[in-house]
A = this chain, B = another copy of it.
């Protein structure tokens, strides 16, 4: 017999499954209308006031529990952040519907017409930390693709999430799909474990947060999970790189936002260019406050660098720290990336046609760039319109995931009486 918590989660998963059959056949214009109505609700001063009040309860409780200032910042809503949600809803409403598309159709010798048509995945569970803006973002993308959503946000944001899901449900109800957004309304971690066992009712789990959360989800889930643990991103400066371009790209990749997963963590420099590149690079990094960890060969040019340990090459510093290594050639660079990398994002700086193509062919990380910053490894930047997450698992989706990653394809077959011989 399931206990009360378990039963409540089974019930909400079943409600989501039933709702997903309705959302799957909503026309695009109805889905867009729901998103725009939700945006309008969030723009209503009375709604905003109640949302900010609910959020304040969370923030004050968080202060009482000594949350870090970074966590408190992510937890806090304000009119500007609500405006951000509204704009993102309007943006998602404006994106093309990824469901219902037949990209190709072919005819078999017996006259059967066979095609593949995109359909929603069904029910998507999002497990995330105390960031109330994710609530609206994740729901809007899942819903736009025709899915029902089950949200399990960080306990610290429960009041905010209750309020937000109430607003979302209001917009859904007026179109007969009130159950399409379910909140796991519990601060018990066991609730997540129970959710992760509902493989009959939930088609996909997307964890969003730190590596600890993601590992917890991956290890406890019986439902397919799309995830990435970390981004140990590399740039390889080839022997013929344009020095100024390499400096610009490395600076941007390391310094512009060191705390994100597409920031640069290890720089690989070709031996031939090292004497010209590294001294200038050292000056630039010093001026930007970047601490260097260097292998013996590169440290000859980097007087202030500490010695890099084996662990440094595996590390996602998420900080103004950069590991550096000189390599004899691209083979060695790729070997390093395969050994220490996380399959997230790698770039080469080169003017050689051959090196550029080889790097693009041989490096099988989820995003591979030539002469551009690793910071472009992002759904918006790559032109997906919006991003639900990043996958370094090769199944289903690899790299930044937009709306297209929230659908699958069924086969549709038009016959005129064919039987199999």
Residue positions of A touching B, CB distance < 8 A: 21, 24-25, 100, 106, 108, 112, 114, 117, 119-122, 203-204, 218-219, 222, 224, 226, 242, 245, 248-249, 251-253, 256, 338, 356, 360-362, 364-373, 375-377, 381-383, 393-400, 408-420
A241 to chain B, nearest CB (A): 10
A122-B394, A203-B394, A410-B364 known; A415+B370 contact, CB < 8 A: yes
B394-A248 in contact (CB<8A):
no
6 A-B pairs besides A256-B420, A376-B418 with CB distance below 8 A are A108-B382, A248-B417, A252-B420, A256-B419, A366-B410, A367-B413
- Cβ contacts under 8 Å, A370 to chain B: 413-415
Name 20 A/B residue pairs within 8 A (Cβ), A-sorted.
A114-B382, A119-B364, A122-B364, A122-B394, A203-B394, A204-B395, A219-B222, A248-B419, A252-B419, A365-B410, A366-B410, A369-B413, A371-B416, A371-B417, A372-B414, A372-B417, A373-B419, A375-B419, A375-B420, A395-B408
A383-B114, A399-B411 known; A25+B361 contact, CB < 8 A: yes
- Cβ contacts under 8 Å, A417 to chain B: 242, 245, 248-249, 371-372
Identical subunits present: 2
A372 to B366, CA, bound (A): 40
A21 to B21, CA, bound (A): 41
Residue from A24, A218, A417 with most neighbouring chain B CB atoms (10 Å): A417
A145 to B417, CA, bound (A): 34
A395-B248 in contact (CB<8A):
no
Main SS at interface, chain A: mixed
* Cβ contact of A367, chosen from B219, B245, B361, B411, cutoff 8 A: B411
A177 to chain B, nearest CB (A): 15
* Cβ contact of A369, chosen from B367, B373, B415, cutoff 8 A: B415
* Cβ contact of A383, chosen from B108, B381, B398, cutoff 8 A: B108
- Cβ contacts under 8 Å, A376 to chain B: 112, 413, 415, 418, 420
The 6 nearest A-B residue pairs measured at CB: A372-B415, A252-B419, A375-B420, A396-B396, A369-B413, A371-B415
- Cβ contacts under 8 Å, A224 to chain B: 224, 393, 395
- Cβ contacts under 8 Å, A395 to chain B: 121, 203-204, 224, 226, 395-396, 408
Residue from A218, A252, A369 with most neighbouring chain B CB atoms (10 Å): A369
A24 to B338, CA, bound (A): 13
A123 to B211, CA, bound (A): 24
Return the chain B residue nearest A375 by Cβ.
Answer: B420
- Cβ contacts under 8 Å, A108 to chain B: 381-383
B119-A413 in contact (CB<8A):
no
A415 to B203, CA, bound (A): 37
Return the chain B residue nearest A413 by Cβ.
Answer: B369
Return the chain B residue nearest A419 by Cβ.
Answer: B252
A364 to B20, CA, bound (A): 11
A113 to chain B, nearest CB (A): 9
* Cβ contact of A420, chosen from B21, B121, B373, B420, cutoff 8 A: B373
Residue from A21, A114, A397 with most neighbouring chain B CB atoms (10 Å): A114
Residue from A100, A251, A410 with most neighbouring chain B CB atoms (10 Å): A410
